[in-house]
Amino acid sequence: MPTIILRVDDDDHAPEGEPRLYVGWSTVVEAPIAWGDQEYLATHLIETYPDTDSGAAERFERANQYGTSDQSVRYGRWGDELMYQQQGTIGRPRLREMLVRFTADERADVTDLLTPLEDG
């Protein structure tokens, strides 16, 4: 399953005293599949998708620098909106809240966090 690693907060917006938060974002289902600090997410992704082991360090380096591990750095950069299951888009300022809700309830309603898609 194609998964990019996103760093949730840039250095200017990270909550003080908390570890950096990363999310594995599926570009297939357009949703987060795992999240946590770097150690947790790396371990989770490698255990779930063994082929992701190669290049993991470089993927986190890109996520730290650009906000995304996408090799082309075209999807998920700082400032980008992410498509969420064809329901709308979500930006970094609301991404942490989405993950908080999904941690409490994996079926949580997050539509209020989304920017609606325009008809057209």
* pLDDT, tens only, 10-67: 888 888 888 899 999 999 999 999 999 999 998 988 888 766 656 788 999 999 999 9
Distance (Å, whole) CA 99 – CA 118: 25
Mean pLDDT of the chain: 90
pLDDT band at 81 (very low <50, low <70, confident <90, very high): very high
**Judging by beta carbons within 10 Å of its beta carbon (0-12, 13-18, 19+), is residue 95 exposed, middle or buried?**
buried
Distance (Å, whole) CA 19 – CA 13: 12
Distance (Å, whole) CA 16 – CA 33: 25
Answer whether 52's CB lies under 8 Å from 3's CB: yes
Tokens at 12, concatenated: 């200017």
Global pTM reads 0.89
Distance (Å, whole) CA 90 – CA 109: 13
